[in-house]
Amino acid sequence: MADKKIVLCDADDTIENLCETWVNYLNCQYGTKVAVDDVVDWDVSKFFPELTKDQVYAPIYDKEFWKLIQPIDGCYEILHKINNKHSLYIVTATNYQTCDTKIERIIVDLFPFLQWSQFIIASKKQLVHGDYLIDDGVHNFEGGHYKGILFDRPHNRLFDDKAAGLTRVHTWDEIGDILL
Ligand SMILES: [Mg+2]
């Protein structure tokens, strides 16, 4: 297919709801009342001043926590279509302690059309070349060899996407409009 592209796509807070799951988990565990929309910075611990940094980040290193993540609204159908049309790779900077549980959750429970061979674990996503990168982390676009699709999240809302040459999208339907 002539218009078949290499589409790189982030996992956390792009196809699954890490931040929402994390904030809800901490609220449940510690009785805090933080709203996910209030988390407007990459460092989640800033929004839980009554907790230590270790307490805030502990779930990220807990395999059981990763079994709670859910798909982002509207993602499943569009990602499935992108997978059928293009060469799709999930590029994620996941840590080694929970990598297996997280990816198992994604490929077994949430997005069973994805194969393990489509996963690339990379902290420096710029080393992976593709036609597009879909991501909520603004640091992953700088110097990258791809067109950037920034998935709008509270923690990137203050970022000037236009100045950085990115296309900001608010829904997976908008991603479908670009790639399908
Ligand atoms: Mg992310």
Q: pLDDT tens digits for 84-102?
A: 999 999 999 999 999 999 9
**CA of residue 121 to ligand 1 center, whole Å:** 12
Tell me how far apart the alpha carbons of residues 161 and 169 are, in angstroms, rounded to a whole number: 10
Q: Are 108 and 149 in a shared domain?
A: yes
Q: Is residue 1 in some structural domain?
A: no
Check residue 103 and give its pLDDT: 97
* Domain co-membership, 115 together with 170: yes
pLDDT in tens, 143-177: 999 999 999 999 999 999 999 999 999 999 999 99
Q: For position 2, what pLDDT does the model report?
A: 58
Report residues near ion ligand 1: CB below 5 Å.
10, 12-13, 136-137
pLDDT at 40: 94
167 is in which domain, residue-wise?
6-17+71-179
Is residue 59, in this structure, part of any structural domain at all?
Answer: yes
Give me the number of domains the chain comprises.
2
Query: Which residues in the chain show pLDDT less than 70?
Result: 1-2
How far lies 70's CA from each of 18, 21, 153, 170, in Å? 8, 8, 16, 18
**CA 140 – ligand 1 centroid, Å:** 9
* Residue 96 burial (10 A CB sphere; 0-12, 13-18, 19+): exposed
Could you tell me whether strands 87-92 and 147-151 are parallel, antiparallel, or unpaired per DSSP bridges? unpaired
